[in-house]
Structure 1
């Protein structure tokens, strides 16, 4: 892709895509709870991974469709911003809030799901816009 340059990355689109991703992830997880896919006593890691994949795909697709330049870098930026928010919450609220405690393989797996889904969403959003499936944001 010719558009994958750091100069084409805009922090505002990264934050906007992250907000969309978190909102859709929350909605997807609540939908899974509503249909009974998440058990009360179980860990629910598979359901959480599914909701995360759906949400971050939507966040990446939003950025890819609205800002066609550097969709893969924006997808990576969305995931990096998610890790920064997690770290800031862990540092600012020690002992009060336990963010994603559990096996490190679960946490790493969820970060990789975020990365793959947001980058795939960005690529699909860009492809839809360039193929005429969505109106061009710059037109």
Structure 2
């Protein structure tokens, strides 16, 4: 498995608190918001933030989320989601979310423990090109 970006620390926050968190991450820790998008199924806005401490995937939502979403602790961008899922199954790691198309490519989730899920993302060629333009990837 080859990781091409991440890990991104996943933080869930109420929509009313998002502006304050984003300001703190960008001003106090010298960061920037690389991109954001609305995710209609979860009634949320997702922000990608990069700062002096690391990478963050901030999900701002007021809607209750299923455990496999709400307990996601990290996001890893990989070359091939299918390869990761195959390896997880071979090693008896529970796949909590099968490969699912999303706006940036595909995602899935692995249950690492009762309170910890990892989101595994495979970016599309178009999204990879965008990430190179903004400097998130080389």
TM-score of the superposition, structure 1-length normalised?
A: 0.33
Larger strand share, 1 or 2: 2
Larger radius of gyration: 1
* Greater length-normalized contact order (CA 8 Å, ≥ 6 residues apart): 1
